[in-house]
């Protein structure tokens, strides 16, 4: 059990939640959350291409990526970034081509680099989650490799699949906007990105730290951080729309600083959720232990 918190005996659920929320900012800073967010941003930049290629290769629906490319280009153009939108199109087409044509011809050195970068990213993610949970011991090498390979294979695939499913629902809702299906799917399209974000955050918080995490604590961290992240997406898009000078200043490179800033912000939000889950888990576990001790004082 970590020494992150000192919960009082028999805390009620609401009191425990309030205390956990209040303790999270200080614990996040004390556990070097900002430094871990910066480190994960760096690892994300290195692992972006390998993980994207893995996702496209495993999905087996590469033609859908072109639709995703178009939607992403429209998003950037609407926010005053036409040069960045063109650059995104070239990047997506290149990644799809590599995943489709070059995966089988990749050299052993290339495969090794992909594996090393992917493992490095997930190792950093595990260390960050362990640190913010107050876990002092990591997994043994074989267990870590198995966990990282599982997460590395299925994580990008699930994220890619969620993007394609959400895009398909949006297209279907627009096409059937005038009939009953459009009415039914309208709310689903609105909430589906939020639910997917909650699910993705929950899986990482629940399974990456090297400790048994309470499902309620993991869900709490996922819902809070996931909701904040979805709100931040809207706010960030609004800022980019009205900033005006980003594309004029950076031109074709406008996508790079935006991506770095957004990636860093994403990791800060997510790691705050991890910290919240860890604090709540400790308080919940210790409260249950105190209750058992009070019920059986002679034990």
Domain membership of residue 298 (yes or no) is: no
Query: Is residue 133 within 8 Å of 281, Cβ to Cβ?
Result: yes
pLDDT at 221: 94
Q: How far is CA 183 from CA 172, 179, 188, in A?
A: 11, 7, 10
Q: What is the pLDDT of residues 275-288, one digit of tens each?
A: 999 999 988 887 65
Pair of tokens at residue 25: 């900012």
Domain membership of residue 28 (yes or no) is: yes
Domain membership of residue 246 (yes or no) is: yes
Q: What is the tally of helices (H) and strands (E) in the chain?
A: 10, 0
Question: How large is the greatest C-alpha to C-alpha distance in the chain, in angstroms?
Answer: 74
Q: What is the pLDDT of residues 37-85, one digit of tens each?
A: 999 999 888 877 666 666 555 555 545 544 555 555 555 444 444 555 5
Whether this prediction's pTM lies above 0.85 is answered by no
pLDDT at 263: 87
Domain membership of residue 72 (yes or no) is: yes
pLDDT at 186: 66
Domain membership of residue 7 (yes or no) is: no
pLDDT at 275: 96
pLDDT at 27: 94
Domain membership of residue 68 (yes or no) is: yes
pLDDT at 294: 46
d(CA 21, CA 69): 39
pLDDT at 243: 59
Question: How many domains would you assign to the chain?
Answer: 1
What is the DSSP code string of 160-217? Answer: HHHHHHHHHHHHHHHHTTTSHHHHHHHHHHHHHHHHHHHHHHHHHHHHSSSS---HHH
pLDDT at 41: 93
Q: Which domain holds residue 114?
A: 13-291
Residues of the chain with pLDDT under 50: 1, 3, 6-7, 9-10, 62, 65-66, 76-81, 290-296, 299
Domain membership of residue 254 (yes or no) is: yes
Domain membership of residue 299 (yes or no) is: no
Q: Where do we find the tokens 């260390």?
A: 127
């Amino acid at each position: 059990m970590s020494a992150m918190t000192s919960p009082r005996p028999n805390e009620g659920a609401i009191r425990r939640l309030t205390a956990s929320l209040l303790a999270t900012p200080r614990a996040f800073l004390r556990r070097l959350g900002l430094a871990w967010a910066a480190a994960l941003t760096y690892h994300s930049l290195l692992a972006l291409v390998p993980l994207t290629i893995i996702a496209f290769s495993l999905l087996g629906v590469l033609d859908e990526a072109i639709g995703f490319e178009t939607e992403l280009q429209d998003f950037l153009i609407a926010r005053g970034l036409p040069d960045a939108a063109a650059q995104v199109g070239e990047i997506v087409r290149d990644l799809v081509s590599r995943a489709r044509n070059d995966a089988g011809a990749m050299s052993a050195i290339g495969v090794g680099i992909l594996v090393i970068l992917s493992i490095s990213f997930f190792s950093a993610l595990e260390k960050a989650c362990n640190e913010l949970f107050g876990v002092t011991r990591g997994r043994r090498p074989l267990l870590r490799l198995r966990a990282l390979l599982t997460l590395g294979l299925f994580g990008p695939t699930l994220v890619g699949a969620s993007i394609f499913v959400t895009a398909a629902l949006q297209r279907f809702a627009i096409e059937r906007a005038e009939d009953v299906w459009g009415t039914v799917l309208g709310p689903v399209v609105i909430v589906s990105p939020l639910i997917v974000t909650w699910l993705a955050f929950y899986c990482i918080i629940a399974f990456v730290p090297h400790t048994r995490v309470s499902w309620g604590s993991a869900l709490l961290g996922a819902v809070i951080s996931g909701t904040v992240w979805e709100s931040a997406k809207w706010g960030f898009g609004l800022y980019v729309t009205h900033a005006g000078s980003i594309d004029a200043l950076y031109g074709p490179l406008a996508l790079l600083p935006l991506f770095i800033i957004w990636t860093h912000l994403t990791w800060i939000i997510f790691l705050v959720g991890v910290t919240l889950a860890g604090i709540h888990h400790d308080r919940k576990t210790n409260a249950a232990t105190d209750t058992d001790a009070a019920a059986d004082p002679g034990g």
